[in-house]
Structure formats: C-alpha cells, structure tokens
Amino acid sequence: MQIFAKGMVGDFLWVLFLFICVYVMIRRAKAGQRIPEIRKIAGLDAIDEAIGRATEMGRPIHYSPGMSGFTGPTFAGLGVMPYVAKKAAMYDTKLIVTVRNMYVHTVSQEIVKQSYLEAGRPEAYTADDVRFVSDWQFSYTAAVLGIFQREKPAANIMIGHWMAESLVLAEAGAQAGAIQVAGTTNIFQIHFFVVTCDYTLIGEEIYAASAYLSKEPVLTGSVVAQDIAKIVVLATLVIGFIMASLGKSKALIDLIQK
C-alpha cells in the first residue's frame, strides 16, 4: 500500500524533523533548560537606547511595521511593536505609529492598547496616535514626512517590508535628528537603510527580533529550532556535493525524490 504520493516521502521526513526540533526546543525553553542562544544583534539592543533618548529629550517615538499587508515582514514588525509600546508607556513617552494598510491599522491599535494595559497605564493610550494615513505608497510617505517635520521624533523605528520610499523616509528621519533602527527583507532596499540609519536589521534578523526582545520561550525555541534545521540543510548540501564529486550521490537523490 502506498501511503505517500510519489515524491513526498522526503518532504514528510523534513517536516517531521522540523516539527520535532521546534517541539523539543520549546519544551526545553519552557523548562528553563539550556538551549543555544540567539546571537547579539546590535540593532535590537539599540531600541532601548533610542527609546531612552526620546524620553530624555521629551520628543516622540515613531514606529512603522512597513508598507505591506499581512506578510512575513509585517508580522515581524508587529512582533516588535508590543516591546516598543510597553517601554513607551512605562517611560510616559509619546508613541506615534503610522500604518498604510487598514487591516494592519486595526491590529496595531489593539497591540498598542494591550501593551499600555500590560504596562499599567491604560489611561495613557491615545487611539489617534496609531494613525492610518493612506493606502497609497507615496501619499503615506508624504504624510510621514509631515509628521517628522512637525513632531520631530527622537527615535524612528521601521521594521517591515519597504520599497522605494525607504530612502526618503530614512533621510527625513536623519534630518529630524532621530536615532533610527530599520529592518527589511527586501534586498533592494537594505543598502538605503545601511547608509541612512544608525542601525540596520538585515534580512532574517527581523524574524528573530520579537524572540530576542521578549525572551518568550515559545518564540525563542522556535527561532533556535529553525536555525538548527538550516544547519542540517546546509550539512546535507555539503554531503551531497561531496558524494556527487565522488559519483556516489544516487542513494541520497533517491531518498530526497522518493
């Protein structure tokens, strides 16, 4: 009896391995047992510095989860938002969140509201500070430029999916005198952040951000498990290259394609 469709055995084994890794790492993290640590990421360590500077100067923080709808980079930006919002609430620092997508706007409002509640300062939450400004790319950009000019934020944090507006926004933030932390997975925009921002999160660093900042066991265990899986994939590739060079790769190919 054929249990799996042709060519799916390798996929099943890979998914099973990934599931086991995630489960084991989460269990170990929850139990307080030792798991590999997430390496130091300077851009994430600088978020506290940026929030502290804004507090000292009595100027607001600007935060944006990017330009897209509910995609991977947007979820990464939303994952960091509770940390920033809770810190802003604790320090009584104004937080301005700007959003392009209407659905992301609703979620952002709830995230910020809940973060203020968890910080013990629900009365400090102002719904108008989580702003849906426009769903047009450069209308959004123009609106944020206006916020930078009028409100002079001392910290500008942009984590999510960014496109052609990235350089415009980052340059305006620099002119406003803000400490800037930005991150994206869009390889065509990362270099703009590198030259204009104080700290840049490159590629997959944004996906580790929420686990890195919150130290939450489920998130941390998931990130560690994914990294272990990547190491296994790279090791398999190296073994495959060696076996192919020796002309003995047929068994490995048959297993993957089975």
Dist CA 30 CA 20 (whole Å): 15
Within a domain: residue 46?
A: yes
Task: State whether 170 and 105 are in the same domain.
Answer: yes
Per the listing, tokens 């206006």 go with 146
Residue 209: inside a domain: yes
Residue range 76-121, pLDDT digits in tens: 999 999 999 999 999 999 999 999 999 999 999 999 999 999 999 9
Q: In what order do the strands lie in the sheet with 179-184?
A: 130-132, 95-99, 61-66, 155-161, 179-184, 199-202
Residue 120 neighbours by CB under 8 Å, 6+ apart:
89
Residues 23 and 147 both lie in one domain: no
Residue 258: band (very low, low, confident or very high) from pLDDT cuts 50, 70, 90: low
What is the residue whose two structure tokens read 């042709």?
A: 6
What number of CA atoms fall less than 13 Å from residue 35's CA on the CB side?
Answer: 28
- 218 within domain boundaries: no
203 plus 237 within the same structural domain: no
Residues 101 and 23 in one domain: no
Return the percentage of the chain with pLDDT > 70, whole number.
94
Mark whether 247 and 126 lie in a shared domain. Answer: no
Please give the pLDDT value at position 231.
92
The beta strand positions in 6-77, using DSSP E, are 61-66
Considering the domain architecture, whether residues 91 and 185 belong to the same structural domain is answered as yes
In single-letter form, the type of residue at position 46 comes to A
- If asked whether residues 24 and 58 sit together in one domain, one would say no
**1 within domain boundaries:** no
Please count the residues of the chain. 258
Contacts for 64 with CB less than 8 Å, ≥ 6 apart:
77, 97, 98, 99, 144, 157, 158, 159, 160
Is residue 93 in some structural domain?
yes
Alpha-carbon gap, residue 137 to 146, rounded angstroms: 15
Q: Are 63 and 178 in contact (CB under 8 A)?
A: no
**Is the Cβ–Cβ distance between 182 and 170 less than 8 Å?**
yes
Closest among 95, 20, 99, 21 to 62, alpha carbons compared: 95
In this prediction the pTM is 0.86
Ranked by mean pLDDT, the top range of 1-10, 69-78, 235-244 is: 69-78
Residue 3 lies in a domain: no
Burial of 58 (0-12, 13-18, 19+ CB in 10 A): exposed
Q: Is position 4 within any domain?
A: no
Domain that holds residue 17: 9-35+227-257
Instruction: Find the CATH number of the domain harbouring 101.
Output: 3.40.50
For CA atoms 27, 30, 36, 38, the dihedral sign is positive
Number of independent structural domains in the chain: 2
On whether both 231 and 134 belong to a single domain, the answer is no
170 and 54 share one domain: yes
Which of these, 162, 126, 3, lies nearest to 170 by C-alpha position?
162
Kindly report the backbone phi and psi dihedral angles of residue 197, in degrees, each rounded to the nearest multiple of 5, phi listed first: -105, 155
Q: What per-residue confidence (pLDDT) applies to 13?
A: 82
Together in a domain, 65 and 31: no
Based on the fold, state whether residues 190 and 98 are members of the same structural domain.
Answer: yes
Does a structural domain hold residue 2? no
26 and 67 share one domain: no
Residue 15 has pLDDT above 90, yes or no: no
Report yes or no: 153 and 60 within 8 Å, Cβ to Cβ.
Answer: yes
pLDDT at 247 over 80: no
- Per residue in 161-176, pLDDT (tens digit) is 999 999 999 999 999 9
